[in-house]
Structure 1
Amino acid sequence: MFNKSKIGAICYYISDVDKTEHFYRDVLGLDVQRMSDDGNGDDWLVATVENGIELLFFKQESRPGNSPIIVFELPEGGIDDTVNALSEKGATIVTPVSHAPGGWSAEIADPDNHQISMYQSDELPRSNAQ
């Protein structure tokens, strides 16, 4: 199921957007862009590293074990089918398919309760059924 997917993003939960932006831009030298999610005032950050992996930073409580989260891109869409198939195989669904910036995402948990996320662009079909 994930054998043709690539890691598209690594998500970090952060407590302070300004401090995080300063650190990754001014200390590490990354090109950091501040984004806004539909005008609700919750800015978030994105930085793309050389191999195309995005580092995403969202303001949210961070505790050991919930950040960072590896995000697999679903290049052919079908996120609903993928989540259903994973559930049928016994995967624990942490977050069902829900809207994410520019697309859809869902999270499952591995046996040690580490979150694994998947994402697809809203330009792709949510189901591969014809």
Structure 2
Amino acid sequence: MLAECKLDTVVFFVASLERSVSFYRDTLGLSVERMDGHDGPFATAQAGPVSMVFIERPARAGESPVVVFSMDAGIDDCAEALAAQGVEIVVPVSEAPDGGLSLDFIDPDGCVLSLYQPPGAARRR
């Protein structure tokens, strides 16, 4: 199922957005952009082909970072296939901050994985 996807984004839940922006920009030298989403402010950075997203939100151990696989279409089909295989879905298909769709699930060790589909893509294949 994920063979056609690519690793696209790593999402970090952070205690202080300002502190994280400063660290990744000033200490690591990444270009960091602050943005406003429908759930509040967040920041993004690019590390080669992988995007990084920073969201101020408390997280328990194992909840952050979230590895995000990008797909062109068919997120609902993937959600059904994962559920049919007994995978625990922790956030059903829902709107992502940029208007796309996302789905969060956990692996056997409790690590959060996510599927992302960009805005305007077909929900089913």
TM-score relative to the length of structure 1: 0.91
In the TM superposition, what whole-angstrom CA distance separates every residue of 1:65-103 from its partner, at most 9, and x where no partner exists? 11001000012x110111001111111111100000220
Describe the SS at the equivalent of 2:3.
coil
Separation of aligned partners in 1, 2:11 and 2:92: 17
Other-structure match for 2:41:
43
Separation of aligned partners in 1, 2:46 and 2:51: 4
Other-structure match for 2:109:
112
**Which aligned segments of 4 or more residues in structure 1 are displaced greater than 6 angstroms?**
none
| Counterpart residue identity of residue 11, structure 1 | V
Separation of aligned partners in 2, 1:55 and 1:16: 16
**Same amino acid, percent of matched pairs:** 35
Say how many residue pairs are matched: 124
Q: Does 1:93 align with 2:89?
A: yes
In the TM superposition, what whole-angstrom CA distance separates every residue of 1:25-80 from its partner, at most 9, and x where no partner exists? 01100000001014x6x210100112x100110011022111001000012x1101
Describe the SS at the equivalent of 1:3.
helix
Q: Structure 2 matches for 1:6-45, cutoff 5 A?
A: 6-38=6-38, 42-45=40-43
Structure 2 gaps, min length 5: none
Separation of aligned partners in 2, 1:47 and 1:21: 9
Other-structure match for 2:123:
126
Separation of aligned partners in 2, 1:4 and 1:63: 30
Separation of aligned partners in 1, 2:117 and 2:23: 29
